Structure 1
């Protein structure tokens, strides 16, 4: 179940533009020398205790967030120009590190893992809608601006909290993630979903309900 955090509806074209912009930065799923440089700096300053391997995984992501918080930067887990500058790194010399062909695949993979953890057994359209909620959040300033940032925001998704995100996604989950990334939003702009049978918060019922798909109610 998704946590109770507020956002607004945006058009999918805006999300695609955001992805194109973020492709010039280092964030969850990026690889290369710039990521190694980030890890090295964060390790030297006590924020990061993982391998200096050039893989922008969860440890790197959380270390970047900690660094941003301590230094008064926007806490989104993305190593953008301000964060790179604060780390003492170039902000334009190593864009290739963030634009490897695998970056899009990693976003797809992460979404598929979330779908499988949160919505396996739900109708296919409902699985796409769950992924769409994640994408709808990425473009609102009240949420992290990347797929990884939204998914790994503390307390945001039960599948992350209970470890089900680590389960291997099915081919259907992967296809649902791809359909959402391609612009299909069956949730019609939803930024929450919840199971009315198990939901314990009265606040969630105050949200504008859009529709129900399978066991999930989608709302904005």
Structure 2
């Protein structure tokens, strides 16, 4: 009986020892399993930060490429140029004298008629050449353009001319090459493309 009791005691001791030896291994394994996914949340912010850095340069894009919600917004966004080159001046003077009392769409339509002529092959290739072409615009005298007064209508005409030259807003009559006031009844055999304000446009 002593042998058996001793054997049982030894067996119990061995079992307890085995349990004691196994327990730390199980705890370490559990801890290791819990520690493995821990770095994953720290890695998540890295791609988000990279995306933010990619998006940041967008506000510095070229203003000429900016999209506007309306023609009014496009006109309001124009800054008066430090120096007025001859082509812009010729276009702005034309808008002023031909359409200063027209809505913005009508002013833009007049500006685009002049620009369309420069690309048509049937008129001079420069804006000033189109404007000063003999018999085309009544405000031109002896091939010279008058100087508009520096008032609000001139500033608006200048801004509209800038929008047209930068192609920042589409003309309501995109293919027009000719126009006249509604009260005029020319005997033209041209295709009418539309009317804006007090002007009728043809191609």
TM-score (norm 2): 0.52
Of 179, 182, 193, 2:166 maps to 182
Deviation, 1:114, is 0.9
Of 163, 169, 187, 1:202 maps to 187
Residue 123 of structure 2 aligns with which residue? 143
Cα contact 2:105–2:196 (8 A) shared by 1 = yes
Residue 217 of structure 1 aligns with which residue? 200
SS in 1 for 2:86: helix
Q: Which is bigger in relative contact order (C-alpha 8 A, separation at least 6)? A: 1
Residue 167 of structure 1 aligns with which residue? 148
Cα contact 1:112–1:177 (8 A) shared by 2 = yes
Against the structure 1 CA distance between its residues 141 and 104, is the aligned structure 2 distance closer, same or farther, given a 3 Å change threshold? farther
TM-score (norm 1): 0.48
Against the structure 1 CA distance between its residues 202 and 116, is the aligned structure 2 distance closer, same or farther, given a 3 Å change threshold? same
Of 79, 86, 92, 1:112 maps to 92
5+ long unaligned stretches in structure 2: 1-80
Greater helix fraction, Structure 1 or Structure 2: 2
Task: Give the aligned length.
Answer: 117
Which of the pair has more CA radius of gyration? 2
Deviation, 1:194, is 0.7
Cα contact 1:195–1:217 (8 A) shared by 2 = yes
Cα contact 2:105–2:171 (8 A) shared by 1 = no
SS in 1 for 2:193: strand
- Alpha-carbon deviations, 1:123-171, whole Å to 9, x = none? 0111011010000000122211111110000011112149874323611
Cα contact 1:116–1:165 (8 A) shared by 2 = no
5+ long unaligned stretches in structure 1: 1-100
